[in-house]
Amino acid sequence: MAHLLGADAISLTVDTRTLLDGVSLGVDAGMRVGVVGPNGAGKSTVLRLLAKRFEPDAGRVTYAGGVRVGLLDQRDELPAGTRVRDLVHGDDAVHTWAGDAAVRAVHTGLLGDVDLDTDVAHLSGGQRRRVALAALLVADHDVLLLDEPTNHLDVEGVAWLAEHLVARFGGRTARGALVVVTHDRWFLDAVCTRMWEVTGAVPGGPGGAVLGYEGGYAAYVLARAERERQAAVTSQRRDNLLRKELAWLRRGAPARTSKPRFRLDAAAELIADEPPPRDPLELTRLATARQGKDVLDLEGVTVTFPTPTGGERTLLDDVTWRLGPGDRYGLVGVNGAGKTTLLRLLEGSLVPGAGRVKRGKTAVVATLTQDVGELDELADLRVVEVVERERRTVSVGGKELTASQLVERLGFTKERARTVVRDLSGGERRRLQLLRLLVGEPNVLLLDEPTNDLDTDTLAALEDLLDGWPGTLVVVSHDRYLLERVCDRQVALLGDGALRDLPGGVEQYLELRRAAQEGGAFAGAAADRGAGADGVPGGPGPTPGRPGDGAAPGGTGPGDASGAGAAPGGTAAAQAPSAAEVREARKTIVRVDRALSKLAERQARVHERMAAVASDHAAVLALDGELRELDAERERLEAEWLAAAEVVD
């Protein structure tokens, strides 16, 4: 495999921490690398160094000749006043990119509900993330460096992205490479064939390193467990030797001050080799307030929001949902379908337009929101001071723990516990959010994307906590691993205002979404949610291409029929396609996209067969004829797609 880029003995020190100490890395064509490690260890820093966003203190990063590298940062800093079209495609004419099947696939997968002429300032958080990701995927990069690409994506979007990246960077003919930082363990297993663990700087110990493992996340966990088992055996052997050495040093007359030098050297070597203890990263099971028989009930609840075009969008339509003590639900759904709205109803911060929310007398509700910015007002306080403001002592396992002891058990070292909030990493802020929540001893937990920004070790500790959580739990997450681990049942919001039970879990949800797209069930939904009368794409509701976020309540969604396709002289109204024609064209686009994807797979298989029989001239000629037929079919389908796109546009 061709070498694309490398890091040669790079070192970097931030403040007093040596994040990277003489680290060497290499990326070759066909590699799909997942990067994991504790929050604050330097995972994002590794990506920025490889992208040459800044220089290391020592060492260097080198690219092979002509290699193009693209970086997706954690923060989507999209310039206000820029149209989506300009951000994704620049000055390219529509026919230039619309004729490319790969670009069309990105549009279908990520931009199905986004109007290309919308100002990026008017997009929701999920839409902004997908626009930034689409801009990177359609560009001609050899190496993609993705920092938390699944943040703000729904379950369906994560599945599409995984499939796209494997198709692009998988196989023996892959020319590019992928390096991705993510906390989504299902995504790591589905996409990556190699893992890098960024260890981070150890207080009082060595600088940070990057350890390599073959295989995806599951293989990494097994390999790491074996490594730690071997380290435990070595540590036990070291402890036994150390006890023997120290016992020998204590023996003899008190006045005797000299010992054989080799014995003293051996003891010193053992002590120096003793590694610092690993951060415990233990989320404490806090005392839980008593629950009664009644917890939270939604009875005939309806929630609607006005749309920018003067219509009305129904997020929840006559929904009844009863939560009892100890119930554990996972909630999935397309972005914008009303998941966060449902949580706000349960916590009492939103009043339904119809129906009622019945709350048990003993229910103590706590909500973990997606916004770590809620800690900004505490930016000048230290971590331990933030917790002390909530509660100075907490009873854990019959013992009273102080705030400093509690934050240490949550994985903050003594040094980090004295760090001010503004200097914490995103994952550390998320951990602090969770700790503030738990010290209030709630008995109903509402978690809105709790895995965002958390490292895999903290996620394992969080799951361990939630496994034994005796209260009522509702989790909104795109992390399938977490949902299947801690929730007993899953429910879904499919965008039609109803809440649907999912006996088959997340996989059943994905099957329902695929069936809805294939049947065009969501093609007419845009009109019901305030889209223009002619179904212009980009309205607030999902479109058949890929139902996604939808416009946020009160957001902007240009679905105005009056401005769509107006021609000089005012003749456009008579020539404009009907709503039925637009819906049929959208169905055609979805059908053709599926057909083109299958065709691409057939072409790839033919190429593989040609490579396998390269020495057989007759077989190669026969396969070449088959390829020509497939190319002709592809051209026919692309022409059909362009014709349908003209109707939609």
Q: What is the mean pLDDT of residues 406-433?
A: 81
Can you state the angle between helices 155-169 and 125-138, rounded to 10 degrees? 10
Q: How many CB atoms lie within 10 A of CB 558?
A: 21
What per-residue confidence (pLDDT) applies to 163?
92
Q: Which residues of 314-326 are buried (b: 16+ CB within 10 A; e: fewer)?
A: bbbbebebebebe
Alpha-carbon distance values, 379 to 385, 390, 423, 459 (Å): 11, 16, 8, 24
Q: Outline where 439-504 has alpha helix (H).
A: 456-467, 480-486
State whether residue 555 is helix, strand or coil. coil
Judge whether 523 and 544 are in contact, CB under 8 Å.
yes
Examine the pLDDT at 568 and tell me if it is beyond 90.
Answer: no
Span 100-118, mean pLDDT?
85
Q: What is the mean pLDDT of residues 260-276?
A: 53
Using CA atoms, how far residue 266 sits from 194, 247, 269, 270, 412, in Å, is 39, 13, 5, 6, 34
Band (pLDDT 50/70/90 cuts) for residue 468 is low
The residues, any chain, with a CB within 8 Å of residue 479's CB and separated by 6 or more, are 183, 184, 185, 186, 451, 459
Check if the beta carbon of residue 515 is closer than 8 Å to that of residue 83.
no
Whether the CB-CB separation of 544 and 585 falls below 8 Å is answered with no
- Looking at the DSSP bridge assignments, the partners of residue 357 are 298
Mean predicted confidence (pLDDT) in 175-189: 91
In three-state form (DSSP H/G/I as H, E/B as E, the rest C), the secondary structure along 562-581 is HHCCCCHHHCHHHHCCCHHH
Whether 270 shows a pLDDT value over 80: the answer reads no
Q: How far apart are CA 301 and CA 342, in angstroms?
A: 10
Q: Which residues pair with 271 in a beta bridge?
A: none
Q: pLDDT by residue (tens digit) across 479-504?
A: 888 888 888 899 999 888 899 999 98
pLDDT at 512 over 80: yes
What is the predicted pLDDT for the residue at 231? 75
Residue 479 is given by DSSP the state -
pLDDT value at 301 more than 80: yes
pLDDT value of residue 638 = 78
pLDDT at 265: 60
pLDDT band (50, 70, 90) for residue 330: very high
Higher pLDDT, residue 103 or 466: 103
pLDDT, residue 261, reads 52
pLDDT of 393 reads 81
Spell out the residues 6+ positions from residue 555 whose beta carbon is closer than 8 angstroms to its own: 122, 123, 124, 308, 540
pLDDT of residue 387: 87
pLDDT at 541 over 70: no
**pLDDT score, position 433:** 85
pLDDT at 545: 35
φ/ψ of 82, rounded to 5, equals -100, 135
pLDDT of residue 414 exceeding 50, the answer is: yes
Asked if the 3-221 domain carries CATH number 3.40.50.1100, the reply is no
Could you give the CA distance from residue 207 to residue 107 in angstroms, rounded to a whole number?
Answer: 43
Grouping H, G, I as helix, E, B as strand and the rest as coil, residue 6 is: strand
Q: In terms of CATH architecture, what is 296-382+418-509?
A: 3-Layer(aba) Sandwich (3.40)
Task: Report the alpha-carbon distance of residue 330 to residue 328 in Å, rounded.
Answer: 7
For 326, list phi and psi in degrees, rounded to 5. Answer: 85, 0
* pLDDT of res. 197: 93
Among residues 329, 362, 283, the alpha carbon closest in space to that of 500 is found at: 329
Q: Give the pLDDT band (50/70/90) at residue 291.
A: low
**Rounded to whole angstroms, how far apart are CA atoms 27 and 46?**
13
Angle between helices 617-648 and 101-110 (to 10 degrees): 50
Residue 455 has pLDDT above 60, yes or no: yes
Task: Give CA–CA dist 97/104, Å, rounded.
Answer: 8
Query: How many whole angstroms separate alpha carbon 9 and alpha carbon 63?
Result: 15
Query: What's the alpha-carbon Rg for the chain, to the nearest Å?
Result: 28
- Predicted pLDDT of residue 495: 84
At CA 220, angle to CA 204 and CA 511, rounded to 5?
130
Instruction: Answer whether residue 85 shows pLDDT above 70.
Output: yes
Q: How far is CA 468 from the centre of its chain?
A: 25
Check if the beta carbon of residue 458 is closer than 8 Å to that of residue 409: no
Looking at residue 452, its pLDDT comes to 75
Q: How confident is the model over 416-432, as a mean pLDDT?
A: 83
Mean pLDDT on 272-297:
56
The pLDDT-based confidence of 378 (bands split at 50, 70, 90) is: confident
Between 74 and 146, whose confidence is greater?
A: 146
If you average pLDDT over each of 196-205, 211-220, 409-418, 518-527, which comes out highest?
Answer: 211-220
The 3-state secondary structure of 334-372 reads: CCCCCHHHHHHHHHCCCCCCEEEEEECCCCCEEEECCCH
CA 199 vs. chain centroid, Å, equals 21
Alpha helices in 495-578 (DSSP H): 505-519, 525-528, 572-575
pLDDT at 553: 36
Give yes or no for residue 215 having a pLDDT over 80. Answer: yes
**pLDDT-wise least confident of 255-264, 350-359, 388-397:** 255-264
Q: Which parts of 29-166 are beta strand (E)?
A: 32-36, 58-63, 69-72, 143-147
Lowest mean pLDDT among 546-560, 574-588, 620-634: 546-560
Reported as a single tens digit per residue, the pLDDT across 430-439 is 888 888 887 8
Average pLDDT over residues 413-432: 82
**CA dist., res. 449 & res. 451, Å (int):** 6
Query: What would the two tokens of residue 497 be?
Result: 């205002």
For residues 592 and 633, what is the distance between their CA atoms, to the nearest angstrom? Answer: 11
Asked whether 42 and 19 are in contact (CB, 8 A), the reply is: yes
Written as six digits, the tokens of 228 are 């730690």
Most confident of 91-95, 367-371, 394-398, 441-445: 441-445
Identity of residue 485: R
Mean pLDDT, the chain, as a whole number?
A: 78
The backbone torsions φ and ψ at residue 139, rounded to the nearest 5 degrees and listed phi first, read -75, 160
Mean pLDDT (whole number) for 395-419: 76
Report pLDDT digits (tens) over 596-646.
888 888 888 887 787 777 666 677 677 877 878 888 888 788 778 778 877
Greater confidence, 267 or 535?
Answer: 267
User: For the segment 130-178, what is each residue's pLDDT rounded down to a tens digit?
Assistant: 899 999 999 889 999 999 998 878 888 899 999 999 999 987 777 899 9
pLDDT of 96 higher than 50: yes
Residues 6+ apart with CB under 8 A from 627: 603, 606, 607, 610
Q: At residue 280, does pLDDT exceed 60? A: no
Q: Whole-angstrom Cα distance, residue 416 to residue 383?
A: 8
Q: Identify the residue whose tokens are 């934050």.
A: 407
The owner of tokens 């993609």 is 144
> Which tokens in the block code for residue 24?
């060497």
Query: Tokens standing for 401?
Result: 């723990």
Output phi, psi for 580, to 5 deg.
-65, -40
Range with lowest mean pLDDT among 29-38, 68-77, 96-105, 531-540 = 531-540
Helices (H), 182-275: 185-191, 217-250, 261-272
- Rounded Cα gap, residues 192 and 456, in angstroms: 15
Name the nearest CA neighbour of 560 among 256, 148, 118, 105: 118
pLDDT at 251: 54
- What is the number of alpha carbons within 13 Å of residue 81 lying toward its C-beta? 0
Question: What are the structure tokens assigned to 172, written together?
Answer: 């023996």
Say if residue 474's pLDDT is above 90.
yes
d(CA 585, CA 536): 12
Looking at residue 35, what is its pLDDT?
A: 94
The 3-state DSSP class for residue 101 equals helix
pLDDT at 298: 93
Report the run of H or E that residue 451 belongs to, with start and end. none
